[in-house]
Structure 1
Amino acid sequence: MEQTIALREWAVAVKALEEGRQVIVLRKGGIAEETKEFRLESPKFYLFPSYEHQRPNLVKLEARDSVELIQEEIGERSERVRITSYAEVIEDIEISDVETLQRLEELHIWTEDYAEERLKWKRTKPLHVLILRVYKLETPIDLPMKDTYAGCKSWLWLEDVSSSRMLPVLDDNEFERQATLVRNRIKG
Structure 2
Amino acid sequence: MLNMACKEWAIICDALGSGEQILILRKGGIAEADDGPFRAEHERFWLYPTFVHQQETGVVPEALPRLHELIAARPPAHEIHLQQFAEVKFVQELRNFDTVTRLSRWHRWSESALQTRFQYRMPGLVLLALRIYRIPQPHIIPVRPEYDGCKSWVPLAESLSTEHATPVLADDAFEQQLATIILAAQSTNR
Amino acid aligned to 1:103: R
What pairs with 1:79-118 in structure 2 (closer than 5 Å)? 79-118=78-117
2:2–2:160 contact (8 Å) kept in structure 1: no
Identity %: 32
2:10–2:50 contact (8 Å) kept in structure 1: yes
Q: What are the ranges of 5 or more consecutive residues in structure 2 without an aligned counterpart?
A: none
Segments of 4+ moved more than 2 angstroms:
34-37
Q: What are the ranges of 5 or more consecutive residues in structure 1 without an aligned counterpart?
A: none
Amino acid aligned to 1:28: K
SS of the residue corresponding to residue 52 of structure 1 reads coil
Rounded Cα–Cα distance in structure 2 between residues aligned with 1:89 and 1:184 = 17
Instruction: Report the counterpart of residue 148 of structure 1 in structure 2.
Output: 146
TM-score where L is the length of structure 2: 0.91
The Cα of 1:35 is off from its aligned counterpart by 4.9
Rounded Cα–Cα distance in structure 2 between residues aligned with 1:136 and 1:45 = 12
Amino acid aligned to 1:146: R
Rounded Cα–Cα distance in structure 2 between residues aligned with 1:44 and 1:128 = 16
Rounded Cα–Cα distance in structure 2 between residues aligned with 1:41 and 1:100 = 23
Instruction: Report the counterpart of residue 138 of structure 1 in structure 2.
Output: 136
Q: How many pairs does the alignment contain?
A: 185
Is the deviation greater in 171-180 or in 159-168? Answer: 159-168
The change in CA–CA distance for 1:179 and 1:23 in structure 2 (over 3 A counts) is same
Rounded Cα–Cα distance in structure 1 between residues aligned with 2:56 and 2:129 = 24
Aligned alpha-carbon RMSD (Å): 1.6
Instruction: Report the counterpart of residue 179 of structure 2 in structure 1.
Output: 180
